Amino acid sequence: MKNILLFGAGRSASTLIDYLLNLCKKKSWTLAIGDVDPQIAAQKGNGIARTFKFDVKDEEHLLSEIGKSDLVISMLPARFHQRVANACLQQGKHLVTASYVTPEMRAIDEQVKAKGLVFLNECGLDPGIDHMSAMRVIDQIRANNYKLIGFESFTGGLLAPNTNDNPWQYKFTWNPRNVVMAGQGYVKFIQQGKYKYIPYQRLFRRTEIVYIPGYGYFEGYANRDSLKYLDVYNLRGIKTLYRGTFRRPGFCKAWDVFVQLGATDDSYKMENVGAMTHREFTNSFLFYNPNDSVELKLAHYLNLEMESEVMHKIKWLGMFSHEPVGLEEGTPAQILEHILKKKWTLTEEDNDMIVMWHKFNYIDDRGVEQEEHATMVSIGEDPVNTAMSKSVGLPLGIATKLILEGKITTPGVQIPIYKEIYQPILDELKAFGFDFIEEKVTPETVKEG
């Protein structure tokens, strides 16, 4: 009998927990769920899993619970994964997470290998399914002795098309803070052999448009550092490497308003927040003129038409309303996030959607350039069984099963870029509706560098 331990029972863990409960029933395995809120853990454990109140900072309790398990899944905030990983290493237990491998995690790779353990990270949506679906095609291209010259990849968590009363066509389907802070820092990629860089203040003005058959047009902005995938995917020498995030057309132009205002800044706390309204928050970034409205000042400052689509989006969010912010303190980014949650939180009527799209350019054995696309779309069922929850939870659950069944055995700190890992996970994901449509297309000719 195998014993699975899950830390974290929040919204994103809903589908994972359902999968694990069914798995344990079939296999006669056990599941334990620990969460800072024991009521949430008990509710999702459904009377089948053992549940308990858990504080990751309680080292004695952490080690005790891990000691009872065969494999640990961490759905805690990413900053706590290393604490869990160190405890798993000490107790000799496998670990699975959906988060990026950090330098600290990579540093214990040899110790993990020495104990014959699998620490599988980046096995959710993005990162996760993107790795697996991309590497499957890349490995096929290489197996045919073709030369890969370009790889582009976009993923977006959005609203499903049946939600049409929202001009942004967007709500939070993942960590709201990550959305507000998206793109800050540096952005770099390769385009036709040229290294390209985008400063944060220009990021949302440089977008690409991609058409997904059956779902319409999407715009994509660049993720921070595409170049790290040169080594992750073994792409040294490739001419184009670009990873980005999908939104619906018009989102980025409107979001850029907040960037240009400084409303996404997280480096300082604002004053008198407890008495601040949405309108005062917006006005605080604009020049002083008691004779002009906040709307007019914003339009003048950013050269917007008063009746433009962008102004409509900003007004729809309530940025000009006299509603109190509802916080006692906060940075601009924290305040903006709090305001956005009022309109961008999923309701019972909402369905989310995951869209993932890869483009591969390669030279075949005749010396002819070919282009291939791989597309996946998943639509959520409701605000609990979201596409995001399924996309993150199912790969984690499937990987857990495969490790405990001895079908994923390569020890060390891993990500799912090897066929041993990605092929069986993608095969089972297909049964859940996560099917990538792969098709060859006529490549576009790029003339500029």
How far is it, in rounded angstroms, from Cα 394 to Cα 152? 24
Query: If pLDDT is split at 50, 70 and 90, which confidence band does 12 have?
Result: confident
Range of the domain at 199: 129-253+348-441
What is the tens place of the pLDDT at every residue in 48-71?
999 999 999 999 999 999 999 999
Residue given tokens 């697996």 in the structure block: 132
What is the tens place of the pLDDT at every residue in 360-393?
999 999 999 999 999 999 998 888 888 999 999 9
How far is it, in rounded angstroms, from Cα 434 to Cα 131? 14
Question: Is residue 294 in a domain?
Answer: no
Percentage of residues of the chain with pLDDT beyond 90 = 89
- Are 144 and 249 in a shared domain? yes
Question: Is residue 102 in a domain?
Answer: no
pLDDT of residue 445: 41
CATH of the domain at 59: 3.40.50.720
How far is it, in rounded angstroms, from Cα 400 to Cα 425? 10
What is the tens place of the pLDDT at every residue in 25-36?
999 999 999 999
Query: Domain count of the chain?
Result: 2
- Are 249 and 134 in a shared domain? yes
Q: What is the mean pLDDT of residues 9-34?
A: 94
- Are 247 and 357 in a shared domain? yes
pLDDT of residue 163: 63
Q: Which of 54, 77, 97 is the last residue of a domain?
A: 97
Q: Number of helices and strands (H, E) in the chain?
A: 17, 16
Q: What is the mean pLDDT of residues 211-234?
A: 94
User: Treating both helix axes as pointing N-terminal to C-terminal, what angle do 309-316 and 294-301 enclose, rounded to 10 degrees?
Assistant: 140
Whether the predicted pLDDT of 448 surpasses 90: no
- Are 90 and 139 in a shared domain? no
Share the mean pLDDT of the chain: 94
Question: Is residue 33 in a domain?
Answer: yes
- Are 354 and 430 in a shared domain? yes
Buried b (16+ CB within 10 A) or exposed e, 351-372: bbbbbbbbbbbbeeeeeeebeb
- Are 139 and 211 in a shared domain? yes
- Are 168 and 228 in a shared domain? yes
Q: φ and ψ at 384, to 5 degrees?
A: -100, -55
Whether the predicted pLDDT of 42 surpasses 70: yes
pLDDT of residue 164: 65
What is the tens place of the pLDDT at every residue in 119-162?
999 999 989 999 999 999 999 999 999 999 999 999 999 999 87
In the chain, the amino acid numbered 180 is V
In the chain, the amino acid numbered 47 is G
- Are 86 and 32 in a shared domain? yes
Q: Give yes or no for a cis peptide into 127 (omega within 30° of 0).
A: yes
Question: Is residue 72 in a domain?
Answer: yes
CATH of the domain at 185: 3.30.360.10
Q: What is the mean pLDDT of residues 279-283?
A: 98
What is the tens place of the pLDDT at every residue in 84-118?
999 999 999 999 999 999 999 999 999 999 999 99
> With contact defined as beta carbons under 8 Å apart, do 125 and 137 qualify?
no
Query: Who's near 24: CB < 8 A, 6+ residues apart?
Result: 4, 30, 31, 48, 49
- Are 74 and 145 in a shared domain? no
- Are 93 and 186 in a shared domain? no
Question: Is the four-CA dihedral 275, 279, 280, 282 of positive or negative sign?
Answer: positive
- Are 160 and 227 in a shared domain? yes
- Are 60 and 202 in a shared domain? no
DSSP 295-327: HHHHHHHTT--TTSHHHHHHHHTTTTS--B---
Question: Is residue 46 in a domain?
Answer: yes
